[in-house]
Chain A
Amino acid sequence: MATIELNGRTYTVDENGFLQEPEIWNDDVARDFATTEGITDMTDEHWVLVRYLRDYYLKYGIAPMVRKLCKETGFRLAQVYDLFPSGPANGACKVAGLPKPTGCV
């Protein structure tokens, strides 16, 4: 377990930088974690992805399939990488406060 300081606030994260305190997540937390992706300004497109991920996670307890994320939000995977350079799992999910994916993925 480690801590990271973003925009002056301290968060408990795992070794890969994923938030370990899911209950504290909110839009400000998302903005803070977005800085680790080099995102200084969250656009509407960023939020579409983050909202979808967040809703899916609250319903199913894990992140959605990448393809489903793309289809349901209307983005091509390349665009997702554009918005979140580390990709849907390591980038977008991290900003949305989801835990790191487990298992053979």
Chain B
Amino acid sequence: MTPRTRFSDLSRRDPERLLHLEPADLPPLPLDTTAPSRPFPVTRPIADTVAYALDDTRALALPNPKTREEEDELVRAFLSGMEKLFSRENNWTFLQPLVLSMEHCAHCQTCSEACHVFESSGHAELYRPTFRSEIFRRLYFEYVKGGGLVSAWQHGSVDLDWPLVARLAELAYRCNLCRRCAQTCPMGVDNGLIAHEIRKVFSQEMGIAPGELHAAGSMLQLKAGSSTGMIPAAVKDNVQFIDEEMTEKTGTTIETPWDVEGADILLIHNAGEILAWPENPGAFGVILNAAGVSWTMSSEIAGYDAVNYGLWYDDAQMARVALLHVQAARKLKVKKIVVGECGHAHKALLVTADRLLAGDMRITRESFLTVLRDIVMSGRLKFDPDRNDFPVTLHDPCNMVRLMGIVEPQREILRRVCPRFREMHPHGVDNYCCGGGSGFAIMSGSGFRDWRSQVSGRKKLQQILDAFSDCLDPSIHKYVCAPCSNCKGQIRDMLAYHDLWKRHGILYGGLVELVVNAMEDVDPGFIEWEWR
């Protein structure tokens, strides 16, 4: 492995990447090593010339200043953004925990032991949570708190130049924002928050963010209605198709209600489900109709797409989308919004947007998990758990579980409908991130898919294989239940990367599909055992 990265390495002006990982550097996976697997890192060269390379992949298209003056201008912009970040007017969302995280790190490195990215990279110094945080912290003490030589002696200093700023931007996109570090820290310092706030400086002040999250993500959602690009006409067409398919498949009549005023629940899915995993919104339709719930979907812009990518990188975008979600609900005068199987959408709308929604904007928002648990445990639906007679394990999405505390409802459901449910270890609030968190699951360019399949997702893959270690034979079909779109996408990509459907019969899917698969009043075989 490359030698330990130092802070000063981020200022290097040579084209060498600071960190290069080989498969031998990473902790071994419990996989049959004679079976073929993809070479790592990606052999295709990174497109575009990268002036100041960080590692084996790239998340951002950074500006390419040609002169020292241009560089200085960018550094000034960065500092201006940092200054704003530490003012109450500009950082009405996260100022207090950010300041506490700046001022109280004891440098004990307990957080590092909790970080899956750090561990799975073979303890590469560059990915240590405090490596990124400490650079930002030193800049904070010098440029925001006034600095001086005594401060530099007490807190350390880093040379501020464009290469450092450019690499710091990129490094902010090597953290899943899962908060395992914050949970472990004895002081409550939040390295994930620091990574998030760094991303915010770059996006809100300098317009720098991954294309998949911003231009083709939140901006597209604000314009077309969904980050998938589905305009309202397209989503209605697609959902109608799904309704027809579900009706045919389940033997029950499914018709999704659109724009019904006065319904109890406005259900908002991650719109990607509709395109990639139609059986998921389909299953919601089956369950809600069978349970006699008064519900509707909305064809307003963003009213049918629960995603809120701004949660990961930009407070302004986050606020804009959250307001659209609430407006769609208010227009229909529903009693509450229920968010479907999407982790970050949960946290954005149910928790982070709280401060935003004052007065009559304060509409009830609930997770589908508790709604579903109430339905499943109420006895309204009849289940035959033997229909789910296959090993099932549960991936706990960080946003819902560790970060919102919704731990038991999904387990009550699984215990009710899946007789061969087994936990991963650790699980619940101690879970590991799937490796796709904070937007990584939809970022694939310049080797990013390889990086997240091999590094940030490695721990989760280990957990999946360990959870099924007693039944790895490919003839035994197994199901990783991941009640979150992005987690599913990441798990799909990892299973595909190592060919695990063929090698070990491992499939993945959401929670609602398992529920429908066990419903007596529905034709059997809802879950199809083929790769998707």
Contacts and interface: CB of A to CB of B under 8 A. Distances in A.
Direct touching of A and B (C-beta under 8 Å): yes
Interface of A: 1-2, 14-16, 60-68, 71, 77, 101-105
Contacts of A16: 444-445
B234 A61 contact: yes
B278 A67 contact: yes
B48 A103 contact: no
Interface string B259-301: 0000000000011111110100000000000000000000000
B230 interface: yes
A66 B35 CA distance: 30
A104 B227 contact: yes
B245 interface: yes
Contact of B275 (A2, A71, A77, A101): A101
A15 B447 CA distance: 10
B511 to A, nearest CB: 16
Contacts of B226: 103
A105 B231 contact: no
Given A60-B237, A65-B278, A67-B278, A15 B446 contact: yes
A60 B446 CA distance: 29
21 contacts: A15-B446, A60-B231, A60-B234, A60-B237, A62-B230, A65-B275, A67-B245, A77-B532, A102-B216, A103-B271, A104-B227, A104-B271, A104-B272, A104-B276, A104-B342, A104-B441, A104-B485, A104-B489, A105-B228, A105-B272, A105-B275
B442 interface: yes
Interface of B: 47-48, 212, 216-217, 220, 224, 226-231, 233-234, 237-238, 241-242, 245, 270-276, 278, 305, 307, 342, 441-442, 444-446, 485-486, 489, 530, 532
A104 B489 CA distance: 7
Contacts, number: 85
Contact of A105 (B220, B224, B242, B489): B489
Contacts of B273: 104
Contacts of B532: 77
A104 B270 contact: yes
B229 A103 contact: yes
Pick the most buried of A15, A63, A104: most chain B CB atoms within 10 A of its CB. Answer: A104
Contacts of B217: 102-103
Contacts of B270: 104
Nearest to B489: A104
A62 B307 contact: no
Nearest to B484: A104
Pick the most buried of A14, A61, A62, A66: most chain B CB atoms within 10 A of its CB. Answer: A62
Contacts of B230: 60, 62
B485 A68 contact: no
Mostly helix, strand, loop or mixed at chain A's interface? loop
A68 B241 contact: yes
A6 B268 CA distance: 43
Nearest to A2: B47
Contacts of B234: 60-62
A65 B342 CA distance: 19
A104 B216 CA distance: 11
Contact of B233 (A60, A64, A103): A60
Contacts of A63: 275
A102 B241 contact: no
Contacts of A68: 238, 241
A41 to B, nearest CB: 26
A78 to B, nearest CB: 8
A16 B226 CA distance: 22
A2 B224 CA distance: 26
Contacts of A15: 47, 445-446
Pick the most buried of B217, B234, B485, B489: most chain A CB atoms within 10 A of its CB. Answer: B234
A36 to B, nearest CB: 13
Contacts of B444: 16
A26 to B, nearest CB: 23
Contacts of A2: 47-48
